[in-house]
Amino acid sequence: MLPRDLSTTPSKYLAVPGTQELEFRRLSSSQLSGMPQFPRRSSRCPVTLSAPVLPARPEGQPSLVPAPRPAPPPNRTPTGLETRTALRPFPPHRVGVTVTVRRTKDDTWKADDLRKHLLAAQSGSPKEDKKHREKKLHKESEMDLPEYREPKHGGPDRDSKYRERPGERDGPVSRENPHGDREREKRRERRKDSRDRDRERHKEKHREQDTEKSHGKGKDRGKAGDRGAEREERGRTAACAVPPGRPLLGRAERETRAVSRVRTEEKERRDGDPERGDEERERRYRERKLQYGDSKDNPLKYWLYKEEGERRHRKQKEPDRERKHGEKSSTREKREKYPKEKSNSFSDKEGEERHKGKRHKEGFQFDEERRQSNTAEKERLSREDLKRRESKDSEHRNRGASSRRDPIGSREGTYAENLVRNNGKDKDSRKEIEKEDIDSENAGADEYTACFEDDFEDYEDDFEVCDGDDDSFNELEPKEKIEELPLARKKEIQEIQKAINAENERIGKLSCRLSQKPGLLEDENSSPARAPVCGIFIDFATASRRQKSRTQALKQKTRSTKLLRLIDLDFSFTFSLLDLPPVNEYDMYIRNFGKKNTKQAYVQYNEDNVDRDIQTEEIETRGVWTQHPGEGTAVSGGSMSGDPRDVAAAPKVDTPRLSSFLRAACQVIAVLLEEDRVGAEPSWGPRTQDSTLHISDSSSQLNTSLPFLQNRRVSCLCASQVQRQTVVSVHGPPGAASAPVLDCRYVLCVWDIWQPSGPQKVLICESKVTCCCFSPFKAFLLFAGTVHGSVLVWDLREDSRIHHYVKLGNCFWTFRTATFSTDGILTSVNHRSPVQAIEPISTSVYKKQSFVLSPFSTQEEMSGLSFHIASLDESGVLNVWVVVELPKADIAGSVSDLGLIPGGRIKLVHSAVIQLSDSLSHKGCEFWGATRTLNVKFLPSDPSHFIVGTDVGLISHGTRQDLRVSPKLYKAQQPGMRPVQVNVIDFSPFGEPVFLAGCSDGSIRLHQLTSECPLLQWDSSTNGHAVTGLHWSLTRPAMFLAQDDMSCIYIWDLLESDLGPVAKQLISPDRLVAMTVVGEAEKASGSFLALVLARASGSVDVQYLKRAWAAPVGDELRKLRLLFQEAL
């Protein structure tokens, strides 16, 4: 209610300390003065002074500090500092603290108070005035009191309102104090609410005012009351000095030292002998009164002094303090009596006993002093005064410290306040801890005070506010005690203690709560203050350590903040310190390999040569190239040096020449081999003794004893006109079956007379071969005519594989069938009667023979196979065939050429047919029937002309083109037609236009081509035996050989005798069947003339005629012509 009213002037009333003092003073004075209305208060006063109430305050007060404020200003003279330190019996660090504190305090007071006072005096504004007044009061409570009272007393009109109030209010207020205290406590808990705080302040201000009034009233009470009040105030101021945070506790502790002294006294009294304690208290109060009266009977002086300047004050006080200190030190010794009793009450900790002991001593000393003399009182008072100042100093200092400590904000400060206030109620144990802490703090605080002196000035006002605030709580408790004391001290004390205990309990809870909150919100600085709240155990060592560490940390922090501006810190790269990949199984195995009983080693052959891994021969390589197919001379080559030479040296081979050479060589060798064989087989070789005829020098026998030739009779012999040594023999069917394959077949054997051991080729034919001939230029084709009228061709070049292959005896024989046969084909033009003769028609042959000049050209023509074959059968049909060589052989056979053997290349094409019978029959010999044509010969000089022998003794002359020729007939010397067969016709091989004709009547005629009648005619040369064979000698033009059917051979030499044969040889007993002439005329030395004789037994002889008949005689042809001319 009241606070509300006063709340209109909030801030100004906050300056408290002075007012509180006043109030206390008033209470104490009233009590001491023996005022009946308030006996309790008076009695209580001493209790509060000494009792735990006071100790609680020092913490409470600083907690009220709303915001951190620096300590009072720095400007200060160092005077007296040293002396003071010397005087004080505190530990060194504490000395320093006190010194600084004092300094600051002095300065603050000097500077600020003066200034404010001046301001107040000038402005005269009530608020300001009030404030200043309060300040003054607070500062110089003892001295001011009388002054204050007087003005109030003198000017009641001004304070009239208030004056009534003390009467009304004092009682209830004092009585309600316990409750009010509690309420305040609660409020404190809700401290954050500024309104509450304000309200409290207002209340307090009211109270202050009240106290002022009371002071005013109680001015008559005298100094005694003042003294009591002062004592209380001293305690309170000490309480006020309690710092808000831990660091601030030191000051409070310093204050509390004094307080504790008082309290210990009280306790002693209470514990030991309450009565005595009471007495003592009373006595003390009395003494104090006396002291006041003695020392400070003139408070006016102070007032005046104050106006002048504080310096004087201090000077006065200083000696007092010095005195006090000295006293303290002396009193300490006296107090040694009761150390233990109090130690229990104060704290459980042994470590603290020392401090307690000190205090106890002091307390005891006080008591003793008081008892002993009043003079001591004075000293003590002065000391108290000093203490109070100290407390103020410390307060400022604390503020300064707190402001320094709590730069973050006021919030922290409020927490600290709360804590401190709560702590303040924790009367017994707390103080000691705080003392310790503060001691340690002070060292640090000193520095800061020095630093922040300036700041303190600025925040002076706020301190006042806080002070007032704090005082408001603290003042009440003493009031209670003061009230109680006079009436029933014990009761009161107990009550108080109860209240205290309750408070303690509450505080304990509260602190617990707070300790959690701060833990979250406050930083390190405030936490140490919490620790003592929670626990009963106090660890000074850790606390100091913590304190130190905190300061250290702070220093480091500031330093780091400064330094970090200069140094850039950044994150480094991530360094890879170690990277061990996991080991795989094989590595593990190898790692463990050595642990087993094994060892790895190497062995090498040829151990001296370690540098060579392998000792082997080097492989030599050479690059060579080759070509496929290997045509040409350079088939392969390469890096070998010899190759190019080989290639270069490869001779240019004339392949055709080589092949011809090889062919010739082959023949030579074959002949040589044959001769060897003949030598081995005497029968084959030329024999002179038995088989050799007397007309011949030697003879040989062709080997007709071959299995397929046995029992075969030779029907015909034919020699090649070009290759004179080649003879073909036609063997008839065997008389007895020998070889089933060849039964009833005719065999033709091509012989080389020089190789009599065997035939060159063996040909077979189905029908009987009546005549045969070789191809004109090269004897590789064999033509034959059969009884059945067919013409056959054998190609002797054919591969033997396409023919029949028979193994007879030890040798393989190839039996060649005809390459082409006209059997069954070309029936319209083919012969219908047995073929009598077959002749090649080749102009070149005759050219060659007639004109020996150009053999090569004819040779080339012949190679082209440009020749015809003429075949004549009995009925006078002369067919002319063209020999055609197919460009390619067809193994599968030909569809169109049915007569061609599969794989054969030669075939005959019918070219022309000449009917000779017509011309012959027209000759008028009708009764003779049809004339048989027996043989045909083509004129060597002109192949288109031919002569045909007939069976009527006439030789017809004709041409292929039906041209008229003369003479048409060649007749014998005997006129008319006779049944004489012209068996043989033969042209002279030397080109003479004459031919011989042998007749069946045994006559031989020599005809010229130009005359119809014969040039010569020998009728009885053979004794009437039919001439079967007639051959011009190949070596001598004037010689010819004749054979009759009586197997007799006649040799004619026209130069020697043109009347009859020069020699006659009868071949018997093996009759001669067929005969042919072979011989070579060109070779002078090697010229020979041989007769191939086929005997009836089947053997074939070669009779080499004697050199006389074989070798030509010089100029023989001319002689022969002469002979002919003679015969004409």
Partner 1 sequence: MTSSTPASFSMGTADGLPEAEKNAAESENTYILRPIFQQRFRPSVVKECIHAVLKEELANAEYSPEEMPQLTKRLSETIKDKLKEMGFDRYKMVVQVVIGEQRGEGVFMAARCFWDADTDNYTHDVFMNIPCNM
Residue ranges in contact with partner 1 by CB under 8 A: 556, 559-560, 563, 566-583, 587-588, 591-592, 594-595
The residue to which tokens 């029933």 are assigned: 488
Residue 576 vs 1125, nearer CB to partner 1? 576
Closest to partner 1 by CB, 304 or 563: 563
747 residue type, one letter = V
Instruction: Indicate the helix (H) or strand (E) that contains 684.
Output: none
Nearer to partner 1, 304 or 588 (CB): 588
Min dist. Cβ of residue 454 to partner 1 (A) = 23
> φ and ψ at 746, to 5 degrees?
-95, 140
Q: Residue 99 Cβ, how far from partner 1 at the closest point, in Å?
A: 21
**Cα(1065)–Cα(1049) distance, integer angstroms:** 5
Instruction: Output the DSSP codes for 359-372.
Output: HHHHHHHHHHHHHH
Contacts 24+ apart (CB under 8 A), 494-498: 495/178, 496/47, 496/51, 496/53, 496/178, 497/52
Q: How far is the CB of 245 from partner 1 (least distance, A)?
A: 24
Would strands 811-816 and 761-765 be described as parallel, antiparallel, or unpaired?
Answer: parallel
**Smallest separation, CB 581 to partner 1 (Å):** 5
577 vs 648 by CB, closer to partner 1: 577
Measured at the alpha carbon of residue 845, what is the angle toward residues 840 and 848, in degrees to the nearest 5?
175
Please identify, using beta-carbon distances, which residue of 561 and 641 lies nearer to partner 1.
Answer: 561
CB-nearer residue toward partner 1: 569 or 648 = 569
Residue entry with tokens 């200092």: 397
Q: Which residue number, 559 or 832, has a Cβ lying nearer to partner 1?
A: 559
Q: Between residues 578 and 653, which has the closer beta carbon with respect to partner 1?
A: 578
End-to-end CA distance of the chain: 210
For partner 1, the closer of residues 446 and 469 by Cβ is: 446
Q: How far is the CB of 35 from partner 1 (least distance, A)?
A: 60
Count of Cβ atoms closer than 10 Å to residue 395 Cβ = 34
Calpha distance 978→126 (Å, rounded)? 213
The answer to whether 289 and 227 are in contact (CB under 8 A) is yes
CA gap 207, 186 in Å, rounded = 19
Which residue number, 568 or 962, has a Cβ lying nearer to partner 1? Answer: 568
Nearest to 172 by CA among 216, 219, 210: 210
Closer residue to partner 1 (CB): 557 or 1118: 557
> Which residue is listed with tokens 């009182």?
377
Q: How far is CA 283 from CA 171, 294, 374, in A?
A: 25, 16, 10
Q: How far is the CB of 288 from partner 1 (least distance, A)?
A: 47
Q: Report, in Å, the least distance between residue 562 CB and partner 1.
A: 10
Instruction: Give me the least distance between CB of 409 and partner 1, in Å please.
Output: 27
User: Smallest distance from the beta carbon of 449 to partner 1, in angstroms?
Assistant: 20
Query: 524 and 553 in contact (C-beta within 8 Å)?
Result: yes
Cα separation, 735 vs 743, in Å, equals: 10
Nearer to partner 1, 251 or 550 (CB): 550
Q: What is d(CA 284, CA 282) in angstroms, rounded to the nearest whole number?
A: 5
Provide the minimum distance between the beta carbon of 450 and partner 1 in the complex, in angstroms, as a whole number.
16
Complex with partner 1: residue 579 or 1126, whichever CB lies closer: 579
Q: How far is the CB of 523 from partner 1 (least distance, A)?
A: 20
Torsion from C-alpha of 337, 342, 344, 350, nearest 10 degrees: -70
Choice between 577 and 1084, CB closer to partner 1? 577
**What letter would DSSP give residue 168?**
I
Tell the smallest beta-carbon distance from residue 582 to partner 1 (Å).
Answer: 4
Residue appearing with tokens 């007309």 = 695
Using alpha carbons, select from 203, 163, 194 the residue that is nearest to residue 468.
203
Give the residue carrying structure tokens 């808990």: 189
Backbone angles phi, psi at 538, to 5 degrees: -120, 125
Residue 879 CA, distance from chain mean position: 97
What's the one-letter identity of residue 770? T
| Residue with smaller CB distance to partner 1, 592 or 615 | 592
Rounded to a whole number of angstroms, the minimum distance from the CB of residue 551 to partner 1 is 11
* Residue 783 exposed, middle or buried by CB count within 10 Å (0-12, 13-18, 19+): buried
Token pair for 618 = 């080097």
- Cβ of residue 525: shortest distance to partner 1, in angstroms? 20
Side chain identity at residue 953, one-letter code? G
Cα(535)–Cα(537) distance, integer angstroms: 5
Chain mean position to CA 1116: 111
Q: Which of 812, 818, 817 is nearest to 706 (CA)?
A: 812
Q: Shortest approach of partner 1 to residue 448 CB, angstroms?
A: 17
